[in-house]
Amino acid sequence: MNIAVIGTGYVGLVTGTCLAEIGHHVTCMDIDPEKIKTLQSGRSTIYEPGLEELLQNNIENNRLDFTTDYATGLANKGIVYIAVGTPENEDGSANLTFVEAVSKDIAKYAQNDLIVVTKSTVPVGTNHQIQNWIKENLQQDVNIKVASNPEFLREGSAVYDTFNGDRIVIGTDDENTANTLEEINRPFGVPVYRTDVNSAEMIKYASNAFLATKISFINEIANICEKTGANVADVAKGMGMDDRIGSKFLNAGIGFGGSCFPKDTQSLIHIAKEVDYDFEILKGVVEVNHQQKVKLVDQLIERFGSSLEQMKIAVLGLAFKPNTDDMREAASIDVINKLSSYNVNITAYDPIAIDQAKKVIKENVNYTTDIEEALTNADVALIITEWDQVKQLEFNTFKKLMKTPIIFDGRNCYDPKEAEKASVEYHSIGRPS
Ligand code: UGA
């Protein structure tokens, strides 16, 4: 099958490359010439394990190419995927400017019948809107069908998830289109679930909102555990043994970040509001997450009072989660912002996210990729991201390097009993010290 993918961000690039890997001929398009040049040379523009290897392999085998030119990109293609960003507007709604522009470009350059597949996360009803945008601007007498095919990929394991996903959702009102898309995806070996367009669009939002709810729920349980003497790790394990609940996404911590959960929860609240529905639970989920992100600073103040002046603080981890350099909505931003009003000295460690961090953190911070340097002479260590390099640290290292071995752990990386044995002062989330 000849396929075009518009947008070479994390969704478009992974989707295009993986479709090439299963044998299709794919042209990825983007308006950014620098990105296209880098990709043409076989280098990945995002940090995603396994991607660069697939990229190079498929370019070499002439199954994958890149262009900024829509006419070339769409020529002789039967399918075009829309994978452009839908960033958050100030009022929380999804910004559809890029989706609209791309739809009109498709209309302008379409020379033959096309199936237009939306990968971008878009509000319910958008695919119908896409169909209208295209129909109103078509230059040739060709047939356009639309389908929603939301992505469920996690950053850092997006390639793995493409081949090992739980489901592929195909939302379209046309049976032949559904058959074609099912055929295209068959080599992935992932179960396909067919539905109508609107429901497919909603499945994406509802899934992310539900996962975000699970996280905020267990975080509130953790907060109550702290006050009642229960242990949230044991509670989560006991809950998760019930199949109806499931054991995943019950790790208490300092909340969710990234480019998806924060944006999609806000967007779903907005979608509900548009139809006069007040999505109260989801508003609570967002608010809990907002407070949870700075919980370590609250713990610090509870422990030391508000006179933190001149304290040397080691911040371990900046990225919103391990194995990515993505800083979008990372807890580290809120933590450093709140800490800076107390006139402290901050040294932040991260193995790969420092360049990205510098773009979004405006406060005065010393950055290092050397974890031991961050800990040297520190009064306290705050754990923000559960990098392996952090989890592998031994309590003796904290004792050896820090002025005082006091740890506030936002990701529950260590066993509190071991900390006690090692005479390290250890505070975590929802577990007795
Ligand atoms: C998320 C979803 O997991 C994907 O299915 C979805 O496709 C993607 O958003 C998207 O909409 O594109 P991602 O943002 O890459 O993927 O990150 P996750 O691995 O899901 O983690 C999200 C956040 O939740 C992280 O900040 C993580 O630290 C936090 N989290 C996760 C917890 O605090 N506790 C948990 O138990 C699990």
Q: Which residue's alpha carbon is nearest to atom 12 within ligand 1? A: 260
Whether 2 shows a pLDDT value over 90: the answer reads yes
Q: Are residues 278 and 359 in the same domain?
A: no
Confidence of residue 307 (pLDDT cuts 50, 70, 90): confident
Q: Are residues 212 and 190 in the same domain?
A: no
| Residues paired with 426 in a beta bridge | 407
Q: Are residues 20 and 142 in the same domain?
A: yes
Whether 306 shows a pLDDT value over 90: the answer reads no
Q: Choose the final residue of a domain: 149, 174, 195.
A: 195
Phi, psi values for residue 172, rounded to 5°: -155, 155
Query: Is 153 marked as binding a ligand?
Result: yes
Question: Annotated active-site positions, please?
Answer: 260
Does residue 350 sit within a domain? yes
With a 6 Å cutoff on the Cβ, whether 188 touches ligand 1 is: no
Q: Are residues 255 and 157 in the same domain?
A: no
Could you give the percent of the chain with pLDDT greater than 70?
100
Q: Are residues 179 and 55 in the same domain?
A: yes
Q: Which residue's alpha carbon is nearest to atom 24 within ligand 1? A: 256
Q: Are residues 257 and 363 in the same domain?
A: no
Query: Is 66 marked as binding a ligand?
Result: no
Query: Is 204 marked as binding a ligand?
Result: yes
Does residue 210 sit within a domain? yes
Does residue 78 sit within a domain? yes
C-alpha distances out from residue 298 to 83, 302, 303, 339, Å: 40, 6, 9, 10
Confidence of residue 241 (pLDDT cuts 50, 70, 90): very high
Confidence of residue 54 (pLDDT cuts 50, 70, 90): very high
Cα torsion through 260, 266, 272, 278, rounded to 10: 140
From the CA of 97, how far away is ligand 1's center (Å)?
Answer: 25
Q: Are residues 377 and 271 in the same domain?
A: no
The pLDDT, as a whole number, for residue 116 is 97
Question: How far is 325 from 363, CA to CA, in rounded Å?
Answer: 19
The CATH number of the domain holding residue 230 is: 1.10.1040.10
Q: Choose the final residue of a domain: 195, 211, 233.
A: 195
| Predicted confidence (pLDDT) per residue in 74-123, tens digit | 999 999 999 999 998 999 898 999 999 999 999 999 999 999 999 999 99
Q: Choose the final residue of a domain: 170, 195, 220.
A: 195
Does residue 432 sit within a domain? no
Task: Report the sign of the C-alpha dihedral through residues 256, 259, 263, 264, in that order.
Answer: negative
Q: Are residues 167 and 286 in the same domain?
A: no
| Predicted confidence (pLDDT) per residue in 185-239, tens digit | 999 999 999 999 999 999 999 999 999 999 999 999 999 999 999 999 999 999 9
Domain count for the chain, please give it: 3
Exposure class string for 369-378: b at 16+ Cβ within 10 A, else e = eebeebbbeb
Q: By residue range, what is the domain housing residue 330? A: 293-427
The CATH number of the domain holding residue 377 is: 3.40.50.720
With a 6 Å cutoff on the Cβ, whether 151 touches ligand 1 is: yes
From the CA of 382, how far away is ligand 1's center (Å)?
Answer: 21
Average pLDDT, the chain: 96
Q: Are residues 63 and 178 in the same domain?
A: yes
Q: Are residues 259 and 208 in the same domain?
A: yes
Confidence of residue 45 (pLDDT cuts 50, 70, 90): very high
Q: What is the pTM of this model?
A: 0.95
The pLDDT, as a whole number, for residue 88 is 87
The closest-lying atom of ligand 1 relative to the alpha carbon of residue 255 is 33
Q: Which residue's alpha carbon is nearest to atom 27 within ligand 1? A: 256
Q: Which residue's alpha carbon is nearest to atom 6 within ligand 1? A: 152
Does residue 321 sit within a domain? yes
Q: Are residues 95 and 157 in the same domain?
A: yes
With a 6 Å cutoff on the Cβ, whether 317 touches ligand 1 is: no
Could you give the percent of the chain with pLDDT greater than 90?
95
Does residue 433 sit within a domain? no
Query: Is 181 marked as binding a ligand?
Result: no
Token pair for 51: 């991607």
Q: Are residues 58 and 190 in the same domain?
A: yes
